[in-house]
Structure 1
Amino acid sequence: MTQLSPPRRRRALGCGIAATVVALVGIMPTVIVFVLATTSDPNYGWLLFITLPIAVLFGAVAVVLGIIGIVFARAEPGGYGWPIFGVVLGALQLLPAAVFLTGV
């Protein structure tokens, strides 16, 4: 009787998908407010003061999850796609805070 191969661990895939989902959840309120402010009423723009800190928080969490996913991807066979995508989306969310803090 042949033995079954052990199940593959998918920690990197799970962390990468989690990082991408967290980053998208952080981006969506800002996108919604931006669309409302440009199309419907410019008075919705003040909501960016609420959504941008939330986006920065979610972006930082996504970067951490993505880096953990990259570390797991090094240890097991699989792809780097989802963790890297999560890190990139998280880093894009951190750009407004970096621009604000550096004064560029």
Structure 2
Amino acid sequence: MVMIFSYFWRGIFLPGYPAGMAVSKFSISVPEDVAQQLATVSNISEYVTEAVRRRRRSDMLRNTFAEAGLMVTDEGVAAMGHRVSAKLTARRAKTTRSRRQAA
């Protein structure tokens, strides 16, 4: 469960944000694994902002594909990731063998 409390600051200069940019402050609850990851980050606001923007771009891309009749699923993305990983592993092994033979 995520609890969100929002505060809006307008016209106040905050480091890392353009002058006059509307900024919202949230207080959220996250699972322990996420909290541990955030504890290692020097600028949590920047980290979370980038994560949300990436997710937004991903959602927009999936919607664009859906409008074109192409369904992108989490399972399909994972399967493609495995295929790409396998190809990269094979390519690295081939490169390693070639270097050993050349030496």
**TM-score, structure 1 as length reference:** 0.28
Higher relative contact order (CA 8 A, sep 6+): 1
**TM-score, structure 2 as length reference:** 0.28
- Whichever structure has more strand as a proportion of its residues is 2
- Whichever structure has more helix as a proportion of its residues is 1
